[in-house]
Each structure stands twice: as C-alpha cells, then as structure tokens.
Structure 1
Amino acid sequence: MLDWVTISALATAIGTLVLAVATFSSVRSASRAARAAERALQLGLRPVLLSSRLEDPVQKVGFQDRKWLKVPGACANAEVGEDAVYLAISLRNAGNGLAVLHGWRFEAARPINHVKPELAEFHRLTRDLYVPAGEYGYWQGAFRDAGDPQFELAREAVKNREPMTVDVLYGDHDGGQRTISRFVMVPRDDDGWLVSHARQWNLDRPEPRD
C-alpha cells in the first residue's frame, strides 16, 4: 500500500528544493546584473591619462615661485633653477571621466623592468590638477629641498639630458579608481623632451568573482 503521508512529504521537500534552486539562480543572476551595471558606471567615470598628441597646443605651466615652463604637445620640459628643479609633462585624458591628479614619483633613469611602485614613494601635489575627459592638460612637479637625495639626481639628469621617469597617481572626481601611469621623458635633439606612456597600474580594481 502507498504511504501517502511519506509521498506528500517527499513532494513538499522536492518542491521546496526546486524553489530554493530557482531563487538562488535568480539572486545570482541579479547580482551579476548589478555588478555589470556598476562596472558600466565606473567605466563612465574612469579617466585614462596618456601622453598628449603632437598637434596639441603648447601649454604654459606656472609654479608657486612664479617660474613658468612652456610644454608642447607630446612633450615635457625640465629646467634647473637656483633653488629648485622644475618638471612638467603634457598629458591627454583618453578616458570618459575627469582625471584628478594627486601625486607623483620620480626616477632619474629609464626603467628596465616595470614594477608597480609603492604608494609610500609618491610626493603629494601641493594642489590637485585636473584633466577633463577627452582633453589635454599637464602634470607639474618640483624638487626644492637640496637635502633630498632625489634633488641632486634630478638636477644632474636635467643638466646632462638623461632619460627620466615620472609616475603620476590620479583617480576619478569621486576619489576612486586610483591609477598610476608611467611616463618616460627622453631628450630630443634640441632642448626639449619627448614623452611616452610606458605602463599603467589600476589600484582599486576589484578582484574578479563568479
């Protein structure tokens, strides 16, 4: 004889299991859709700094001690003053969001191996610099402390016209999506410097999930 109580209990259990599986699949699909929407939103805000174009106009970059450097498109400028070493690079934002520049790191050489630098090595900009989406802008930095070991390294590199590397730390206008872009300054035949974008590191990219 059939045990209808047992059969009913089994049917209820199977129905509950099927409902649980369907709910899990629905929640997982909704989570994926939410992450995709969040990703699309971030892409709409993400800046991407590259070296500017040769046809971009010359920019006049001013420093707090009233020193001025002229920086042509796709180029940089560097100059040794009496009490400071001045550096500036022409940039272009190829991303969709406003780029807010926060800090920089200097190396008096062209890197052989591109290793992601530590944030502790960066100098904080005295003021934020901005590069609008799809537009050109600039980065600027200066060494003013003669006791800083990098002061002498930068001074000698500029005077001897040797390649130099500048890592620029920036993010979006909301303070997220921090990125490091590496630029290499190479001396031209004249007094100028050409700039190439060498590497990029995304610091706030989330780990991939299923």
Structure 2
Amino acid sequence: MADWVTISALASAGGTLVLAGTTYASVRSGNRAARVAELSLLAALRPLMVQSSEEDPTLHANFADGVLVDVPGGGAGVEIQNGRLYMALSLRNVGPGIGVLHGAHVGAVRIGEQAEHAPLEEFRRLVRDLYIPPGRIGFWQIAFRDDERREEVIELVRTGRFRVDLLYGDYQGGQRVVTRFGISREGDAWRAAVVRHWQIDRPAPR
C-alpha cells in the first residue's frame, strides 16, 4: 500500500527543487540583463578624444592673465611671452558621451619601452572645467609661468617636437582615458596627431 505521506513529501521536495532551479535561472538571466544594460549605459557615456580636422575653425584659448592663444583646427597653439609658455590643443570628441578634461602631461616623445603614458600623479590638473560634447570640438590648455618644469618644456618646444598625454573621462568622473598626442612644428604651424589611447578604469583592448 502506498505511503501517501511519503509520496506527498517527495512531490513537495521535487517541486521545491524545480522552483529553486527556475528561480536561480531567472536570477542569473536577470543579472545578465542588468549587466548588459549597465555596459550599454557606460558605453553611451564614454568619450574619446582625437585631434580636430584642419577644416575645423580656429578656436581661441583665454588664459587667466589675459593672454589669448589661437588654436587652429588639426593643431595646437603655442606662445612664449615674457618667458612664460602658453599652449592649447584643438580636440574633437568622437565618442558618444560628454568628455570632461582632467589634466595632462607635456613631455618628450617616447618610443619603445618608454612609450607608456606618464604616471598619473605627474599630470598637471586643470584649474578650470573644460567639457567637450559628443561630436563637437573644443580645446585643452596649459600655461607654464612659474612652474618648475617651465624651462624644460620650453626647451622641448624649441626642438619642434613633443607629446601631450591628455587625461579625461565621462561626466560622472569615471571611464578615464589617457590619449597621447604627438605635436610637431610644420613651418609656422603646430600639427597634432593621436598616437595611442590607454584605458585607466577599464580593461585595455590590447
């Protein structure tokens, strides 16, 4: 004779296992969907800076002491006045998100094993907020007045070739990237070209 109590208990246990399995699968599916949604949102916020085009208009970088530097499309503006160095770089944001510029490091061109970006603690932070909307142009700027690196950077400028490692991120302060620009003199003009991008807060694509 069947033990209906035992059968009932086994049936209940089986149903509980099925329900647990279904719940686990649903949770995993929900987690995957949430992760995909999060990644999609982050991708939509991500900026990416490159040099602007030569056809883009000249911008004008104002400095706190009244100096005005013209910044041509596809290039940089560099001025030495009264022993002080003023520099600005024309940029285009080709990413889908607003770009917030944090700072930069100006230095000599690096090749081979020395090609990594400068340490973040050596970057000069901006003292003003600079934003570049997606698909638009803007500029980064820096001045070396009484800075301890002023003479070093002026000498780099006089060689006609240097680099700018630019640090920026999304408007929430995350997804930081360092983009290296090579700056070289062509006649009376300064030309800019992207050399490499480094992801700071995300896995590198290579």
**Range class of TM-score, shorter chain:** 0.7 to 0.9
Deviations 1:5-30 (A, max 9, x none): 44443333232222112111111111
* Mapped contact 1:79–1:158 kept (Cα < 8 A): no
Q: Give the root-mean-square deviation of aligned CA atoms.
A: 2.1
SS at match of 2:143: strand
Deviation at 1:93, TM superposition (A): 0.6
Deviation at 1:2, TM superposition (A): 5.3
Structure 1 stretches lacking a partner, 5+ long? none
Percent identity between the aligned chains?
48
Give 1:1-210 correspondences, 5 Å limit.
3-113=3-113, 114-145=115-146, 148=148, 150-161=149-160, 163-188=161-186, 190-205=187-202
Deviations 1:42-89 (A, max 9, x none): 222221111111111111212112222212111112232223212111
2:134 maps to a residue whose letter is: A
2:133 maps to a residue whose letter is: P
1:53 maps to a residue whose letter is: S
Relative to the length of structure 2, the TM-score reads 0.88
* Mapped contact 2:169–2:175 kept (Cα < 8 A): yes
Q: How many residues align?
A: 203
* Mapped contact 1:103–1:124 kept (Cα < 8 A): yes
CA gap 1:39/1:66 in 2 versus in 1, 3 angstroms: same
2:155 maps to a residue whose letter is: E
SS at match of 2:152: helix
CA distance in 1 between partners of 2:159 and 2:178 (Å): 27
CA distance in 2 between partners of 1:112 and 1:72 (Å): 30
CA distance in 2 between partners of 1:160 and 1:79 (Å): 14
CA distance in 2 between partners of 1:7 and 1:182 (Å): 71
My pick for the range that moved more, 75-84 or 126-135, is: 75-84
CA distance in 2 between partners of 1:53 and 1:145 (Å): 33
Deviation at 1:168, TM superposition (A): 1.3
CA distance in 1 between partners of 2:146 and 2:133 (Å): 32
